[in-house]
A = this chain, B = another copy of it.
């Protein structure tokens, strides 16, 4: 079997996760890692992988089937996505929900021009959770949908705290409120505000001799991030931070609850739970699965930008549709 040749562009937590993920697959191999940093300063997590500067990526047009863009959504992808979609089949996990239409359009234009296929926003939210929301809308059309995030580390919220003066390290956990989850689970279809759904718990290492009350106030009143939530702030030592808060767990719940039939008398419920000890490694596995799909679509001359909603689910695993009909259906 001809293996699919992949490359990683941007070597952070997700990039390393992708490297582990490819290492476990029989139908693909890792051709190269491209980094912003000096290539000789990078230690890869598996053996024998070549590391190059991002500037050299264009020299590999003929040897890479799919490029996995593992940079961040805030500053890397808005520029890298459209740029590399014009050269390679690409996959990313772009997650700035509000900017997806605009990002999709930019990628679609460039990919179609050069007859390449790019899958955008292939993570778990957006991504897997989006799929589940659509399945819920379709199968329980008279109903309500609820997404709870956590318990887990929100990267964006942690970084927002880190930007406050006097903060040395910070991490933020999103925690679903149990009462709210239970009301949804019972099929009561409650109306819930952000504050009623999630708690935000923060662990902060402060610089010496700063006013902790000021930091706490800055966090709790930060618009968009914290002001709409009940936020708990703990100040801890650097030792405790390193010992207890260096993992990246996450997860969440997607519910669809509603009714069907005569006078809507029958309650119906779909509930999906995700529990991850390592969030970036799960995102990495999703990206690798959609790299497989991107390559298959490219081979079928189906070019342009795609999301997880455009792609038949059977294309993301190594098996053929024929095998899947025998073994999974």
Point out residues on A near B: beta carbons under 8 Å: 17, 20-21, 24-25, 45, 97, 100-101, 104, 121, 126, 128, 130-131, 133-135, 137-142, 260-262, 266-278, 281-282, 284-286, 289, 307-314, 316-317, 321-322, 324-326, 328-329
Measured between beta carbons, the chain B residues less than 8 angstroms from A138 are 285-286, 289, 316-317
Q: A134, B21: Cβ atoms under 8 Å?
A: no
A284 vs B267: C-alpha distance when bound (angstroms): 14
Known: A131-B313, A325-B100. A266 touches B286 (CB 8 A): no
Q: B312, A328: Cβ atoms under 8 Å?
A: no
Q: Which residue of B lies closest to A278 (CB)?
A: B266
Q: A328, B271: Cβ atoms under 8 Å?
A: no
Measured between beta carbons, the chain B residues less than 8 angstroms from A284 are 260
Measured between beta carbons, the chain B residues less than 8 angstroms from A285 are 138-141, 260
Q: B267, A277: Cβ atoms under 8 Å?
A: yes
Among B139, B142, B282, B316, the residue within 8 A (CB) of A134 is: B316
A20 nearest CB across to chain B (Å): 5
Q: B289, A307: Cβ atoms under 8 Å?
A: no
Among A24, A100, A317, which residue has the most Cβ atoms of chain B within 10 A?
A317
A45 vs B266: C-alpha distance when bound (angstroms): 15
Q: B282, A274: Cβ atoms under 8 Å?
A: no
Q: Which residue of B lies closest to A271 (CB)?
A: B273
Known: A131-B135, A289-B138, A317-B137. A329 touches B97 (CB 8 A): yes
A316 vs B310: C-alpha distance when bound (angstroms): 11
Extra contacts, 11 of them, besides A101-B325, A126-B329, A139-B285 (Cβ < 8 A), are A100-B329, A130-B329, A134-B324, A138-B289, A138-B317, A260-B282, A261-B278, A268-B278, A271-B272, A309-B312, A310-B312
Measured between beta carbons, the chain B residues less than 8 angstroms from A324 are 130, 134, 309
Measured between beta carbons, the chain B residues less than 8 angstroms from A278 are 260-261, 266, 268
Among B128, B137, B316, B328, the residue within 8 A (CB) of A130 is: B328
A307 vs B325: C-alpha distance when bound (angstroms): 8
Q: A262, B321: Cβ atoms under 8 Å?
A: no
A selection of 27 A-B contacts at a CB cut-off of 8 Å is: A17-B260, A17-B261, A24-B142, A97-B329, A100-B329, A101-B325, A121-B329, A126-B329, A128-B135, A131-B135, A134-B316, A134-B328, A135-B313, A135-B316, A138-B289, A139-B289, A268-B275, A268-B277, A268-B278, A269-B274, A272-B272, A273-B273, A307-B314, A307-B325, A309-B328, A309-B329, A310-B312
Among B281, B313, B321, the residue within 8 A (CB) of A260 is: B281
A200 nearest CB across to chain B (Å): 24
A62 nearest CB across to chain B (Å): 28
